[in-house]
Structure 1
């Protein structure tokens, strides 16, 4: 592993370089992966690396990264100092043990070898990867030096317990050293230092321990990769993220080890978060637009209310004017003795009254026109809001439908299957009747992937889905549970009727001409089925059908099994 101090100084030197968006994304991903590989060196460094990953994933501003860099550098330097100290302690313990062997080797058979070994130990250790060779050599010398003393076996085991070949198992307990034996005491100190070094180097011994860790991963690799591929198939990503998703899928299809798995999960979590953030942003934008529309709607209502209030006030004002003018006429009639003058006064006041009425009517017409315009505007905006709501509802329905479908086969995925199972279960509980569940699995699907490639496996799953959908009845339902496993629901069907339909499915798949690149691919399925019974839960019914399917596989595959 490269010196971390060099990495930090190089980062500082390269800081001014301006990267494109794609290069910046690759650089961030590379930094995240490197930081994962450095986990476990020290608690302080782990915290700083965790902060770095969080900052990179959240697209933190540059000044936060600049503030974090000095803290990270100090943590790296401290971890490197601790590593050098541990390696020095290990070297000292090895040297002490070698000198104790010199004392015990009275025959002198190993004197030259021990001197050469001590010279090698005196050279500074740069990495714990050099320890296995030194320990192996020391173990051999120890066996020669203590040959015939009766303690060779136990002392040899004391050294070889820490570093061994892949086929050996660690003992559950370690023999306690004899207090009076000085070389055992030195070995005990050595074990303590080596254990500390092993713990601190756990995350950077990937290449050294790949052969040891790989068999353990292989036991679960197929299951993990199937789950990841299923999840990638169901994940709805943005168009700009599709290539990234395809790269992750291709990496999973090519096979993973533990280290690759961590990186893939990191990428997958990033894709999920990006998709979630995008949909959340779309929804927030819609809510903001809806809020703006409602604010405009409220403003129009308030304006209409103001117009109506003004109209009422104008009406009251007109009424007051008319009353005053009529009263003035009454006064003129009572007090006037000149008929000609009275006639002139009455005509003048009537003209004024008519003029006021005309003005009031014009003002009322204008107000009514303004109110009508506001109402038309509100109606138009309501119509726009209805169209937008319908569009958004259709978009949500499409997204919900897509989220319920498997991208590879076009069948309902596990979420869609679970929804339909719950609906059928509730219907069965409410109305009774007969309801069957069948679980079917493609036989030797891993061999198809291994022999023909994952593209062939995907094609087989698509063709099987088409065959099953075409051969099932309209009343039946089929969904992809995950990987190469499917679930069938058969309402209103007895066990005997279900057996006939499922046997037709099995024969249809067996006889279907599956080809990949002009080469025939033999495909069969194993099925287990059961009926819903009083007191059953969904999980209980599924478990019975699943166990029946595995019995069919145990009995030779390509058959039905009834539960």
Structure 2
């Protein structure tokens, strides 16, 4: 019994010791896992902090971090820890590195300060940067970052004037080109004849070839002078016509009034003559009833005969006066017809002038002023009836190169033929206008989607197939088209802008394209 009791006591003691050993092992295991987690976090942060300092150190830290994540045996990780430690010891000599960085920062800052025309604030920022002595490598890196920022500000300050000058020059060039195009359009719409027309045509050719800004100003003044001369000439011509008409009308009014007075006097004399004839007739009838034989009536009859002859003479005088009055009235009628003919001729001239105002003199299609007038009309119809209304913009590709290569006369010929071709492909209800040097606009009302696409595609193909030949060379001309439809709350200005965007897309797509923008 004693032996069994002793054995049981030993077993209990061993069990207690085993439990204590298990608890100790568990505590050590938990502590080990915590230390491994801390080590992993330390290695990860060290990898981030030391990234880029040394490629070998980056490589060893990555291997160490991977081994820890894979929970490898610590004994196998220790050699890597020793290598990392050795590499870190090699990186601890940062004092000389900081000195080199500080010297570079100082030299770069001094070089930056010597740049002329730097703002006072920028110089003050450089001074503040130099006044801070770096106390760590991190501080040195911050100073380098600040120095880069100062360099960037200085470069911007030095290059902005150049950029502004280039941008200003670019804007000036664009403005000059726009003014040239506007002046060409004004010359086209003036459509002057004679010597003034020839001078304006010569100016247009100069603008097409390109002019200097000062020359553009001179040409503007010349166009203004020619337009003013043409206006003065037209005004003098109109004033002369009005003076002639006014004089003729005044003379006609005076003679008509005299003729009317003469007619009234003639009417009065004829009335008196009629009254005297009535009295003479009464006397004759009294004599017939009073006298029974002719011999006794002869004396009275003689007096009646004398009175009758006087009345006849007066009647002849009245007839002569009537004849003169009729001739005068006929003369007045001729003068009135002549005045009417003159006014009709002047009216036709005014109509022709008005027609020329709305027609492009080169292509004989409508011009930009007529286009805006017609677009406003079609826009109001669209608002009322909501029928499909299409706007298309056509621009010739590389037209400037054609002018430069073959001359402006060739370009004018191309424009005339293409305008005629466009007109042939349109309906009577469609509208075409030349709104720029080589740009046309079309208005297509009441047209289905299939028909407008077919018509515009046909126009593009027809232009491409036109046979041009200049200087014994076959020349092909293409056109880019941009089209859109009126929709919802559109206005003419919005639709024109959308059509221009569609045209720009067609140009960007490689030219000779038709682009729709809804």
TM-score normalised per structure 2: 0.61
| Equivalent position of 1:415 in the other structure | 369
User: 1:239-296 CA distances to partner (integer Å, 9 max, x unpaired)?
Assistant: 1323322332233233222211110010000111111122222222222222233223
Q: CA deviation at 1:404?
A: 2.2
Q: Paired residue for 1:230, among 185, 191, 205? A: 185
The alpha carbon displacement at 1:370 in A equals 2.1
C-alpha distance in 2 between matches for 1:514 and 1:322 = 91
Within 5 A, what are the aligned runs for 1:436-451? 436-451=390-405
Post-superposition shift, 1:414?
A: 1.3
1:310 corresponds to 2:265 = yes
Over aligned residue pairs, what C-alpha RMSD do you find? 4.0
Q: Which structure would you say has the larger Rg? A: 2
2:203 counterpart of 1:248: yes
8 A Cα contact 2:365 2:434, kept in partner: yes
Alpha-carbon distance in 1 for matches of 2:417, 2:260: 65
Question: Residues 142-181 of structure 1 correspond to what in structure 2 (within 5 A)?
Answer: 153-154=116-117, 169=161
Post-superposition shift, 1:151? 7.9
Contact 2:273–2:315 under 8 Å retained in 1? no
Distance in 2 separating the partners of 1:474 and 1:330: 82
How far apart are the structure 2 equivalents of 1:310 and 1:510?
81
| DSSP-derived class of the 2:317 partner | helix
How many residue pairs align between the two structures? Answer: 370
Contact 1:436 1:532 in 2 (8 A): yes
2:433 aligns with one of 463, 479, 489? 479
- Correspondent of 1:220 among 175, 178, 192: 175
Unaligned runs of 5+ in 2: 1-109, 121-157
The 1:454–1:222 alpha-carbon spacing in structure 2 relative to 1, beyond 3 Å, is farther
Unaligned ranges ≥5, structure 1: 1-146, 158-165, 173-208
Counterparts in 2 of 1:352 and 1:553: CA distance versus 1, 3 Å: same
- Work out the CA distance in 1 between the residues paired with 2:167 and 2:503: 34
What TM-score, normalized by structure 1, do the two folds share? 0.56
Structure 2 distance, partners of 1:436, 1:168, is 45
1:338-391 deviation digits (Å, cap 9, x = unpaired) = x99974552343123212321231122122212211221122223223322332
> 3-state DSSP class of the match of 1:512?
coil
The 1-side partners of 2:241 and 2:224 are apart by 26
Deviation at 1:409, TM superposition (A): 2.1
Distance apart, 1:535 and its partner CA = 4.9
| Structure 1 residues 249 and 522: CA distance shift in structure 2, 3 A | same
1:490-548 deviation digits (Å, cap 9, x = unpaired): 22202332112111212222333444323444532221222234654333332332222
Matches within 5 A, 1:447-526: 447-526=401-480
Does 2:492 align with 1:538? Answer: yes
Contact conserved, 1:234 with 1:405, CA < 8 A, in 2?
yes
Deviations 1:177-232 (A, max 9, x none): xxxxxxxxxxxxxxxxxxxxxxxxxxxxxxxx9x9996553233333222222322
Distance 1:515 1:448 in 2: 12
CA distance, structure 2, for counterparts of residue 544 and residue 350 of structure 1? 101
